[in-house]
């Protein structure tokens, strides 16, 4: 089993004298930078001159420089710009990475697929909170932690892991627990999960269910409720208490029907296709496709995004979500509407 580290395994002295350059001030960047600063670590945020994030970082009381200037003075460079722009940002800062420095990531894509090849003498590590940045920040401010992953790709100093653990502590992750993994395992499981199960799998399952009902003559509203809206209720139960809590909470009829019919839909063919998707992640085929897609200006991405937005279920859902009050989200929406 993978090792898990907590606060007791981390030592502040392994980071307290160091300057951290946080490149990017988006979801992860703002959370890491503010948590590090609150942990009394010297932080400089690296943003391009024309960056729309500059004002936010400065208003939050942080020092801001260009990525190159920030990397020059830093001991640890935390690469928190979008994955697709990291190779370009890396090319600009590479001359300023000295032996003994650390290049740190929150996702392994570029290192694992050879898009970034850090210079010799530099440690390469990963601290990846398993949560969006705003929660990393909110949990930290509430005195709580956010679970995370730790991986060491290269340890030239012999101190990479101690330093990474101290970083994880400074952003609050060791309060909750940090699981040790590798760049390969983190990257491949992350891509597979979002493609086959979370983002890709769930949306296709929802659309296929919706279309099956509508094509059979049922109303789009009923199809939306059954196939999309109720998804959240089921996922909340799974998140809280696993498969068992979900099965215990639904009716016996739903349990029997689900246990016998689920595997009819997600059958051997679907499982074989999952293996194909995993192979394309493992052999780099997906990575090459996505890198080429970006270099070509994202034609397929734009086309598919447009088609998704044009799906009937989006119009039906928007109308229904406007008609019903569903807890917090609905409350926020009506406030926004009042303001607008």
Q: What is the DSSP secondary-structure string of 121-177?
A: T-EEEEEEESS-HHHHHHHHHTT----EEEEEEE-SSS-HHHHHHHHHHHTTHHHH-
Phi, psi of 292 (to 5 degrees): -65, -40
Q: Residues 33, 64, 116, 128: which binds ligand NDP (CB under 6 A)?
A: 128
Residue 90: its H or E element: helix 86-93
Binding annotation for NADP(+):
25-28, 48, 51, 53, 133
Selected catalytic residue, list 30, 107, 269, 311: 107
Q: Is residue 89 a contact residue for ligand NDP (CB under 6 A)?
A: yes
Compare residues 122 and 246 and give the one whose CB is closer to ligand NDP. Answer: 122
Contact (CB, 8 A) for 152 and 161 = yes
Tokens of 13: 């002295």
Compare residues 21 and 281 and give the one whose CB is closer to Mg ion. Answer: 281
**SS3 state of residue 218:** coil
Compare residues 177 and 258 and give the one whose CB is closer to Mg ion. Answer: 258
Q: Is residue 190 a contact residue for Mg ion (CB under 5 A)?
A: yes
Which letter does DSSP use for residue 118 in this model? P
Least distance CB 111 / ligand NDP (angstroms): 10
Is position 269 annotated as part of the catalytic site?
no
User: Could you tell me which stretch among 62-70, 125-133, 192-200, 312-320 binds Mg ion (CB under 5 A)?
Assistant: 192-200
Residues linked to residue 340 through DSSP beta bridges, in sequence order: none
Q: Is residue 198 a contact residue for ligand NDP (CB under 6 A)?
A: no
Least distance CB 203 / ligand NDP (angstroms): 18
Contact (CB, 8 A) for 140 and 168 = no
Q: Residues 14, 35, 39, 51: which binds ligand NDP (CB under 6 A)?
A: 51
Compare residues 82 and 257 and give the one whose CB is closer to ligand NDP. Answer: 82
Residues in contact with Mg ion, total (CB under 5 A)?
Answer: 2
Q: Is residue 251 a contact residue for ligand NDP (CB under 6 A)?
A: no
Tokens of 192: 């597979």
Least distance CB 148 / ligand NDP (angstroms): 9
User: Could you tell me which stretch among 49-57, 251-259, 277-285, 319-327 binds ligand NDP (CB under 6 A)?
Assistant: 49-57
Q: Is residue 29 a contact residue for ligand NDP (CB under 6 A)?
A: yes
Q: Please give the order of strands across the beta sheet that includes 19-23.
A: 4-5, 178-181, 148-154, 123-129, 102-105, 76-79, 19-23, 42-46, 63-65
Phi, psi of 47 (to 5 degrees): -140, 145
Taking the C-alpha atoms of residue 143 and residue 171, their distance in angstroms, rounded to an integer, is 11
Compare residues 133 and 317 and give the one whose CB is closer to ligand NDP. Answer: 133
Binding annotation:
25-28, 48, 51, 53, 133, 190, 194, 226, 230, 251
Q: Is residue 188 a contact residue for Mg ion (CB under 5 A)?
A: no
Q: Is residue 80 a contact residue for ligand NDP (CB under 6 A)?
A: yes
Cite the active site residues. Answer: 107
């Amino acid at each position: 089993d993978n090792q898990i580290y907590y606060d007791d395994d981390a030592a502040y002295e392994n980071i307290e004298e160091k300057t951290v350059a946080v490149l990017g001030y988006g979801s992860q960047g703002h959370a890491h930078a503010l948590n590090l600063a609150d942990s009394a670590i010297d932080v400089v945020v690296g943003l391009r001159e024309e960056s729309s994030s500059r004002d936010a970082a400065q208003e939050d009381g942080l020092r801001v420089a260009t990525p190159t200037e920030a990397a020059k003075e830093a001991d640890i460079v935390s690469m928190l710009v979008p994955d697709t722009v990291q190779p370009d940002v890396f090319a600009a800062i590479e001359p300023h990475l000295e032996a003994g420095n650390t290049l740190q990531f929150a996702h392994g894509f570029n290192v694992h697929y050879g898009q970034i090849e850090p210079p010799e003498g530099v440690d390469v590590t990963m601290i990846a909170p398993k949560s969006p940045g705003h929660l990393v920040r909110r949990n930290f401010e509430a005195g709580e932690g956010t679970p995370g992953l730790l991986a060491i790709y290269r340890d030239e100093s012999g101190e990479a892991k101690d330093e990474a653990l101290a970083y994880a502590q400074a952003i609050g992750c060791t309060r909750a627990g940090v699981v040790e993994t590798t760049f390969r395992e983190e990257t491949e499981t992350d891509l597979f999960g979002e493609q086959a199960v979370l983002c890709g799998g769930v949306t296709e399952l929802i659309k296929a269910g919706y279309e099956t009902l509508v094509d059979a003559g049922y109303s789009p509203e009923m199809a939306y409720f059954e196939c999309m809206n109720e998804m959240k209720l089921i996922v909340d139960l799974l998140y809280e208490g696993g498969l068992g809590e979900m099965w215990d909470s639904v009716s016996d009829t739903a349990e029997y029907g689900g246990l016998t019919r689920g595997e009819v839909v997600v059958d051997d063919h679907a499982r074989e296709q999952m293996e194909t998707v995993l192979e394309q992640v493992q052999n780099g085929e997906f990575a090459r496709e996505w890198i080429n897609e970006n270099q070509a200006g994202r034609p397929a991405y734009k086309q598919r995004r447009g088609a998704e937005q044009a799906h009937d279920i989006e119009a039906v859902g928007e109308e229904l979500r406007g008609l019903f009050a569903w807890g917090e989200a609905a409350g926020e929406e009506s406030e926004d509407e009042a303001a607008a």
